[in-house]
Amino acid sequence: MEKSSVDDIRARFDNDVERFSSLETGQQSFVDARKILDRTTRAAAATSPSATHLLDVGCGAGNYTLKFLEHGPDVHVDLVDLSQPMLERAVERVEEAEAKTVHAVQGDVRECDFEAERYDVILAAAVLHHLRTDAEWEAVATKLYDALRPGGALWVADLVDHDSSPVRDVMWDEYGAYLESLDGPSYRDDVFGYIEQEDTPRPLLEQIDIFRDAGFRTAEILHKNTTFAAFGVMK
């Protein structure tokens, strides 16, 4: 199957802003979404209590930045997303949360140029699974490493794959049952369909290895349940 183009993915999110503006409905296909959201942002705030600059890559409607601002210091926020309508909603919500400043860029992380050593914290929630090739993963990992100040950290919450085919089958069966419990077999099929069409997740430990190869010195796994995980890597 030919994967969706960037324009196809952008169009889907352009038309789904209202759902992703809710911490409940916007995250329901993400197993343990609220727990991961809170745990990831609390860990990010705890490890960077003196942070002044935050980058949210693939920010969507701004949920992860909003939760970081609840747990941590007031910071200057840079938001990046493919979808302009999604980005506009994120800016509106983050400004209401009284970040020091909010700057938004519509774009693809693969094509964005970030200032070297500008950020103390980078958040990347449900975005890196859109990367396709080894070269893209490696380039983005290096780009995010370079954008962090020494001692800064990148926090990832995302869909993950598995190296073992039998384990993959077990995890996807469990994920399918979870989706079906939310809204029936048709909802499960819809979610599985757009994952197959759009996404290229990598195994959790492979992702951490990619970031280590980019220069990150330590990693912390925060959560793993079926096909979803959260972790941080520190510069």
pLDDT, the chain, mean: 92
d(CA 43, CA 185): 35
130-140 pLDDT, tens per residue?
999 999 999 99
Distances (CA, A) of 99 to 38, 79, 86, 105, 167: 18, 12, 18, 16, 42
In the predicted model, is pLDDT for residue 24 greater than 70? no
pLDDT for the residue 181: 95
Q: Residue 13: what pLDDT?
A: 65
Q: What is residue 20's predicted lDDT score, i.e. its pLDDT?
A: 66
Read out DSSP for 6-56? Answer: HHHHHHHHHTTHHHHTSTTGGGTTSTTHHHHHHHHHHHHHHH-TT--EEEE
Tell me how long the chain is. 235
pLDDT at 211 over 80: yes
Report the DSSP pairing between strands 228-234 and 148-159. antiparallel
DSSP letter, residue 5: P
Closest CA to 193 of 12, 10, 6: 12
Cβ atoms of 226 and 178 within 8 Å: the answer is: yes
| Cα–Cα distance measured from residue 43 to residue 188, given in angstroms and rounded to the nearest whole number | 31
Tell me the average pLDDT across 93-121.
95
* pLDDT at residue 171 is higher than 90: yes
Q: Which domains does the chain have, with CATH numbers?
A: 6-234 (3.40.50.150)
- Rounded to two decimals, what is the model's pTM? 0.94
